[in-house]
A and B are shown apart, each in its own frame.
Chain A
């Protein structure tokens, strides 16, 4: 299927959405991962990129578990999503 592939969340554009498949790659500290999780970014959760900041399209605002969470693309890349267009 070419309609769904695993991508880091930080690489999606506005309107991009998917289901979180995995959290954390070795280059991210467990602190970041824990904070992301506490904001609701957990495996199995639906995410959608709602907004991109005006300058440089970074940070981004994602909708997850009914809340709108702002984060930089760098940290968002710690979240892998099964993206579907």
Chain B
């Protein structure tokens, strides 16, 4: 089998959670991965990665100081063998990098893999999801000329054993030209909103099921009756019905409430990625197939526009 490589995401000298998840993902593929660390001044990150990977490729260059996917792509193409199995976290960075990398390596590409179902000859079986997680699929992938796989953060549990005792190999000398047409400028951090949803123990979180801006009031009333704060999923922010600071998800806030009321939220993995600390999740949705019911503790099939006012009223009677 071709060599597996795991791209290590790191920030401020610390490994991302996905770094240890890819150890597990590689094992599921039946192999051990070589970690690939790009950046500028990354010796400490490489040492940390070597605790979990038997071998770590260090690719150190000033041009890689910020992980601009266009530059990283050129770096990986010049360092990795053409038949490599490359694992990349399916994050905003991985989405930027993976598809183009597969073209330049002339490899197959699979996005957002949630599981692997073995390799037979040069065919890899990958499990992924479609239609916002409503259905899963088996994809057959011809890996005879290599493959780039974007791996969903979460489904593969991190390998915490840290017993690899690996070595760091400096591959910086293999780098070719790193000039690209896209230049990183800066990170803009959004302004804080009127409430901090990360501080609330109970969240009444609304999604598309709210249907109209006027109906947000029903969520406010329920939240008031519960002593909770209103948060939401992405479409509500896209529609400008609630402030960005109220969005739960990987592209919004990460929350750790005790109780999470998912009202009319389907439960995309990006949304669920923002819910930590195993809260008690109550899901109300009129679609019995909504993926949220697979992760919720309690589910109710109902239209939130009818259900929320009734619950509010019942709480008022108590």
Do A and B pair up? The answer is: no
